[in-house]
Chain A
Amino acid sequence: MNPLLKVEDLVSYIGLYTILQGVSVEINQGEAVALLGRNGAGKTTLLKTIMGLVDTRSGLIKLDGESLVGKPTYGIAKLGIGYVPEDYGVFDQLTVEENIKIAMWKEDKPTLEKRDYVLDLFPDLKMAYKRLAKTLSGGQRQMLSISRALVNENKIILIDEPSKGLAPVIIERLAQALKEISKTTTILLVEQNFALACAVAERYYMIDEGKTVDDGTIEELKQNTELQRKHLGVI
């Protein structure tokens, strides 16, 4: 089976600095995969490189066999990649409704059904539908950001550290929602919260110093305390 998203020997840079120095990742249709590693390992940069927000020096990125390298960000998004950045990426001066509508490329029946699905998934957003995004809490903003990635027929969604800065009780609710989403959507999840990654993903890739250093199933990682300690700081 050909992977849905294939990243091979990817080298990318920001200014004079080479950040990714040979990352390889494969994600199959329907999978939820976690990208793990310490702070500064290159996880966020990998997502940004896939989205065309960081320049690629060498290597390949393919979605459904189509190369993404050199394509503009909007073109990559249109090919079916939803991106949930770590700073949420919501438009503060627009309402929740406007934020969701702007993410909808069409207003046809399937898209409206998807909108209703995300509002059912995140009832907080339904209640705050007419409020400006800037008035939302961190957790609600994260829910809004994820919702925007879900309202279109995206093939995969890239989620960057959804638990960052959130209270444990909110993280728990978010984990449940992501688990629900993963039943129907392919997910590449960057996460430092090991518990959340375990709750959502089936497989993982470990990134360190801009390189993929390990991969396997989450179950294998749970058993490997040495690897957890070395790369995640989990004791």
Chain B
Amino acid sequence: MKLLKNIDKKTFIAIGVLLVVLSIVPHLAKLSTITLMSRIFILAVYAMSYDILRGYTGFINLGHALFFGSGAYIGGILFTKIDNTMGVFVLAVIITVIYCSLAAYIMGKIVLRGGGVIAAAMITLALGEIARNTAERWRSVTMGADGLPFKIPDIFRDRLGFYYYALIFLIIMTIILRQFILSPTGRVLMAIRENEQRATFLGYNTSKYKLIGLQVAGITSGLSGVMFGILNRFANTDLLSVQQTLNALLITLVGGTGTLYGAIVGSAFVNTVQNYLLDLRSVHPIFERWLLFFGAMYVVVVLFMPEGFVGLWNKYLKDRRTKKNSRVFEKGL
């Protein structure tokens, strides 16, 4: 079972229990909670896509929402212009994969010509804004700033049913991305993150590997966009904005950059806190300014817990393992 490689028995049992709980919870929860959890699952995939870039290649892409928003729009436009059937959903997935792969390739070819991390961040920011402006002005197709409401396939209409689809989507994408990270290509990306020059003198064309990373991240982001569009039955230009990119960045920061699973923890934490703060608006008017609390929370996380939740946990486990190995090593001497 290559898929279960590197997963110890305890983790395997924990994942099993978690999946059982996640399967039962929606039957006991309110509709709003089910929707919130579906949102957590989808945004976790989106944040994982960002983590592939930021966490595994050190590449800061401020235009990452370009893929996410495009996925939502591709689904919405096809459901509106053709039909809201499963066949069209499959078509939307295929077109999203092709579109995001091509867009990531073009973005990569422009950005990876050199110039460093800051230049890359600025160029991707500009590319993202070009996409957002294009969507805003192309009213005949996207309905501009008003946003595009659309009907979705019947199979996705039931919130409870969609919860399970979102959960399956998260599981499948987590497995795929985990395999990608554990693959030789993933290992090279980790080496690039640590020291790009060292990777080059081992014979790796780092630009090529970064491009692969960007394409994988772009496609994953696009697919999460399709699912997010279906969840909301709506797409607007906010989904293409830099704010949407920053959401992914903040989720990965809170969960733990470069950990992959951190995106899931981060998405659960950020979305739950956001939802809670929004609910508190009816308690006191100060919570109308919920973004202030949110901002303060991020500052606290970055200052006192820069590794994020999963990063901290991994660090604890690694230190424990290293101490254990060191003891064995010393005994051997």
Chain A residues with a Cβ under 8 A of chain B? 51, 53, 72-75, 77-78, 83, 85, 89-94, 98, 101-103, 105, 127-128, 130-132, 135, 148, 152
Contacts and interface: CB of A to CB of B under 8 A. Distances in A.
B190 A93 contact: yes
Contacts of A148: 202
- Which of A92, A93, A98, A103 counts the most chain B CB atoms within 10 A? A93
Contacts of A103: 202
B158 to A, nearest CB: 45
B291 to A, nearest CB: 34
Interface stretch (B14-22, B39-47, B192-200, B298-306): B192-200
B205 A74 contact: yes
Nearest to A48: B201
A128 B325 contact: yes
B214 interface: no
Given A132-B318, A135-B322, A94 B201 contact: no
A51 B199 CA distance: 13
B198 A51 contact: no
Contacts of B205: 72, 74-75
Contacts of B197: 53, 73
26 contacts: A53-B201, A73-B201, A74-B200, A74-B205, A77-B200, A77-B202, A85-B198, A89-B195, A89-B198, A89-B201, A90-B198, A91-B190, A91-B194, A91-B198, A94-B187, A94-B191, A98-B187, A101-B187, A102-B191, A102-B202, A105-B203, A127-B332, A128-B325, A131-B322, A132-B318, A135-B326
Nearest to B258: A93
Contact of B200 (A73, A102, A128): A73
A51 B191 contact: no
Q: Is the interface of B mostly helix, strand, loop or mixed?
A: helix
A94 B188 CA distance: 11
Given A53-B197, A94-B190, A131 B203 contact: no
Contacts of A94: 187, 190-191, 194
A85 B203 CA distance: 14
A90 B198 CA distance: 8
Contacts of A91: 190-191, 194-195, 198
Contacts of B206: 74
| Nearest 5 interchain pairs by C-beta | A77-B203, A73-B200, A78-B203, A89-B198, A83-B201
A127 B331 CA distance: 11
Nearest to A133: B194
A145 to B, nearest CB: 10
- Which of B184, B190, B201 counts the most chain A CB atoms within 10 A? B201
B194 A93 contact: yes
A27 B32 CA distance: 73
Given A75-B205, A135-B326, 14 more contacts: A53-B201, A74-B203, A77-B201, A77-B203, A78-B203, A89-B195, A94-B194, A98-B187, A98-B190, A127-B329, A132-B318, A132-B322, A135-B322, A148-B202
A85 B201 contact: yes
B287 interface: no
Nearest to B318: A132
